[in-house]
Amino acid sequence: LPLLIIGRQMGANPDDIWRIKEWTEAFFHRISLMQSEEEELESVRKEIEAQHYFQPVFDKLRQNPNDSLLSTLVNTVIEGWGRPLSDNELHAEMMADTFVGGSETTTNAISAGVKLLIENPLVWAQLKNDPDRYLKVFIEEVLRLESPVQSLMRATATDVELSGVRIPAGSLINVRFGAANRDERRFENPEQLDLERRQPGGHMAFGSGKHHCLGAPLARRELHWSFTALIDRIDSLAFATAESDITYHPHYLLRAMKSLPITFTAKKR
């Protein structure tokens, strides 16, 4: 669902969505910092394939702009730069922020939410009985507990001291959003999925300040549509294999299950 939506917004041919899925997964794995040299080279080859696919699209939109989101991205003159994005910047934007940031992360959040519902049958019952009351809070709890983006790199703007350690200005640091979202100083019973949690949106799943994720409203809407469809159509959910068999991709920045085998019973119409 997220890839279909962002692909449509970016003018991708619907017949090419599964090719684009391969390219986004290649980028996802390459930024894991966990690939062998051979695996990384294969990921790079797929990313180059994506660049060959999108370059003619960029060229066409420069010659004949339209009202699409991608045309806006290609042709907008950046304030303070005095120019639009270059080809290299566009390719990086397409893979990192648009297709990976705009589809992989939300896909992983949907999967994580389904897993949490199976693990918490009382929550599933509450959600089905009163989605108007609980769905919004459930989505925020999924984002908090299973943040698709667990961390990102940042540079310190000034000298700072953290827990007695001095970090000089200009240092490259790794900010762990996933840890912040389970901080007991901020969240009561932080390991618990709580549909009655006060201020459920006060997490760091989308970052904060000027780095707050621009796609957060779209991600929340996609999660709303996905779980609304689940509630409307599904009566029961269960793991198809032992829960201990569920494994995650080794990744330094993002959180994603390798697969989520489930069984379900559809509602009778």
- Plot region of 163 (φ>0 → left; ψ -120 to 50 → alpha; else → beta): left
The pLDDT assigned to 68 comes to: 86
The pLDDT assigned to 144 comes to: 98
The pLDDT assigned to 118 comes to: 97
pTM of the model: 0.91
- Plot region of 152 (φ>0 → left; ψ -120 to 50 → alpha; else → beta): beta
The pLDDT assigned to 6 comes to: 87
The pLDDT assigned to 217 comes to: 94
The pLDDT assigned to 72 comes to: 92
User: How high is the mean pLDDT in each 10-residue block of the chain (269 residues)?
Assistant: 87 88 93 93 95 94 92 94 95 86 93 98 97 98 97 94 95 94 95 94 92 92 97 96 90 94 92
Structural domains present in the chain: 2-266 (1.10.630.10)
The pLDDT assigned to 11 comes to: 77
The pLDDT assigned to 243 comes to: 81
The pLDDT assigned to 10 comes to: 81
How far separated are the first and last CA of the chain, in Å rounded? 24
The pLDDT assigned to 210 comes to: 87
The pLDDT assigned to 93 comes to: 87
HSE-up of residue 21 (Cα within 13 Å, Cβ side): 11
Write the DSSP assignment of 83-110 as a string of letters. Answer: B---HHHHHHIIIIIIIIIIIIHHHHHH
